Amino acid sequence: MNSHTSQATVAVSDIDDLLQDLVHANHILSNEGVLDAFGHVSVRHPERPERFLLARNMAPGLVGMEDIIEFDLDGTPIDADGRSVYLERFIHGEIYRARPDVMAVVHSHSPSVVPFSAVKSTPLKPMCHMSGFLGEGAPIFEIRDVAGAATDLLIRSAPLGESLAHSLGDNNVVLMRGHGATVTGPTLKQAVYRAVYVEVNARLQADALRLGPVEYLTREEANTAMEMIEGQVERPWQLWKRRAQARR
């Protein structure tokens, strides 16, 4: 086998491994209660950064390798072959366009997070070391500001996706008023970790607020905790993957 053939084989193997991880990501997020019949997770194509991989329009818990479709950043499917696609694929394409550092995106209607999207006086902020990725707090995207007062709250076009990406800025998480949240990561596994723990943080924060004023992490604590904890992302990934596989 010559070096070119060897490199091509490795490349194909890497893509296959990433596709399998994307399938696992769908199952994990469904099993952990972050996604249900709705929501989606994508990963940037490792060889073509102007494209991303996302399942066809279906419940995340049912996704298989054969359901993954490649898209360009405009949200146009490359190989759909007649399969229906997610209406809100523009969330993914426009964030990848705006943020070259982002390698994976999760959009969810995470139940403990949604209330924080609608109560603007109480921002979602990191209150435990597991959620340092929240930094100084998650901004809220207000769709009324860009599309008026009669939308269905969905990101159904590239301009809306661009506006959402603008609200995200350089943060890791953006809330969507009355809708849910979009979480980003420098790897697929980190994005999944963050999507799970933004739900955990929201639940803990709501509980803590009933007790009294909350002492949140400082920006420096959040950054240090994020670097420390996410360096061990394989640990929760393997647990969550095993747990999701056991339920299939």
* pTM across the whole model: 0.94
32, 88, 94, 230: which is the annotated catalytic residue?
A: 88
Tally the domains of the chain: 1
Distance CA 216, CA 128 (A): 8
User: Domain range spanning residue 107?
Assistant: 3-246
Question: Of 196, 215, 231, which is closest to residue 126 (Cα–Cα)?
Answer: 215
DSSP E strands in 7-138: the ranges are 40-44, 51-55, 68-72, 104-108
User: pLDDT tens digits, residue range 50-86?
Assistant: 999 999 999 999 999 999 999 999 999 999 999 999 9
Distance CA 24, CA 17 (A): 10
User: pLDDT tens digits, residue range 26-39?
Assistant: 999 999 999 999 99
User: pLDDT tens digits, residue range 120-158?
Assistant: 999 999 999 999 999 999 999 999 999 999 999 999 999
Distance CA 244, CA 77 (A): 28
CATH number at residue 30: 3.40.225.10
User: pLDDT tens digits, residue range 66-76?
Assistant: 999 999 999 99
Write the CB contacts of 159 (distance below 8 Å, at least 6 apart in sequence). Answer: 146
Known catalytic membership, residue 47: no
Structure tokens at 181: 């949240």
Judged against a pLDDT cut of 90, whether residue 111 lies above it is answered with: yes
Sheet of 40-44: strand order equals 68-72, 51-55, 40-44, 104-108, 180-185, 173-176, 140-141
**Residue 12: predicted pLDDT:** 58
Judged against a pLDDT cut of 90, whether residue 248 lies above it is answered with: no
Total count of residues recorded for the chain:
248
